[in-house]
Structure 1
């Protein structure tokens, strides 16, 4: 299977806009029915061998339930631990009909979830309830299977990169509000947020963080790309080298992103190594400028025991 197959935004923009809203419908159920975790780690989706999942959440007649997007059969599958399962096709749905079918599935499971604000978060139509959105209904199974395959490949690269750090770090996960897949490393130093910062921002950036990830493109950057940022951004960050020729620092919202365009990564002799090099360069730039204990937080070969780190693999 091709590593990082082409996925230009222009070819699947309409499908992406529909799926983004489908994901937000289910994501808001996940948000409401899960126990809150620091930095909103309870909110995102996780990858499966067929798509993405909420993981077990809530109670349905005494049983936890899950909601999965299956991008092989192109179905939404809701199931509870007692074996009850409801599924329906993802194609042929508007956001309104998807929203209705999802709530009907929860009713069959016996899941009583009080979901506030059932409208898009931070999207242009945030004032329109999902139940009234008959505009978004594009669904191309080929393109959306490719989205899942790219997401899965990026997740494995991020998991490999994550192995080199022993400090506080997020899982590799797929956020439904920004539709990206990040992995983040934290110091334990608190950060002060401005008084006008919203609750999402306050919790996400309550500690110093260096985040790494991938997004599929949007109106502000209309192409897929790998990226990293440090928050709060230390002085001189964008002066640091990124150790990968086609990567660059990009000014965005008053700070800087280390960016490697997806198509530039694909053009490299070893795309996998190119992405890891950018993530490593961005980490060294951010952690170095912010004076993190880089040596103390290193985890060579995924081990923290010095004896194991020096020993050959068993």
Structure 2
């Protein structure tokens, strides 16, 4: 697939049953890979071949990787990928990662449902902006569902810092000023699901802005605003609570960085 700005060609999208690559052009047709968290299968759909399936279950990354490429080959799809994870340590090559990884069907389904609800609010938020905006998409490296707005102006050269992420990819991703927000389900080291928002480049005034709801807070260590998922989930109007967070953190970025808001907003 041709490179799209800010690596948007590599992201996943919410589907009615999970996450999807959406259509990828190949061999005079298209194919799609979908992770199905309702029936707990991976589907390889092709315009040139029958649909292939892989059961999602407890197994090693190496075994899953091997079966995936066998199924792709059976569909006549010959592709090459980087072959190791990004944005995490250690970056063990997929073909060499023989440790058994647990697949929890219930947890996978619940995460998809949380992202599905977030996806709807993110798209509603996105509709109020007429400048350049990303789609609502899932970055599988850090595993966050994100939406990003752009001022249209170039940004200072990014210095990188993400583990196992090429510097030139990071610099292209942050080539222009952004206000970005998303949902992150947490990790072993930080087991708290949150909504986040940040601006690049940042500025001192951004951190001091008043944002909604009152439970939202700024982390000096991360340089981002956060709102716990549980605070949204338990509010009397979760959609309004999340929309307030998205809108006020965007305004914090746009106002302190002097974006041309009249030209960018409906």
Local SS of the residue matching 1:174:
strand
Q: Structure 1 pair 289/146, CA: closer, same or farther in 2 (3 Å)? A: same
Equivalent residue number for residue 302 of structure 1: none
Q: Distance in 2 between matches of 1:188 and 1:219?
A: 37
Equivalent residue number for residue 18 of structure 1: none
Deviations 1:88-122 (A, max 9, x none): 10113321111011000110111111223x12222
Equivalent residue number for residue 231 of structure 1: 200
| Within-5 A mapping of 1:143-292 | 143-193=107-157, 198-219=167-188, 221-253=190-222, 256-292=223-259
How does the TM-score come out when normalised to structure 1?
A: 0.79
1:121 to 70, 86, 89: 86
Q: Distance in 1 between matches of 2:158 and 2:260?
A: 27
How does the TM-score come out when normalised to structure 2?
A: 0.93
CA RMSD of aligned residues (A): 1.6
After superposing on structure 2, the runs of 4+ consecutive aligned residues of structure 1 that deviate more than 6 Å are none
Equivalent residue number for residue 164 of structure 2: none
Q: Distance in 2 between matches of 1:245 and 1:195?
A: 33
Aligned length: 261
The answer for unaligned runs of 5 or more in structure 2 is 162-166
The answer for unaligned runs of 5 or more in structure 1 is 1-33, 300-314
Q: If each structure's helix is expressed as a fraction of its own residues, which one has the higher value?
A: 1
TM-fit CA distance, 1:195: 6.3
Q: Structure 1 pair 138/196, CA: closer, same or farther in 2 (3 Å)? A: closer
Identify the structure with bigger relative contact order (alpha carbons < 8 Å, sequence gap 6+): 1
Moved more, 193-202 or 266-275: 193-202
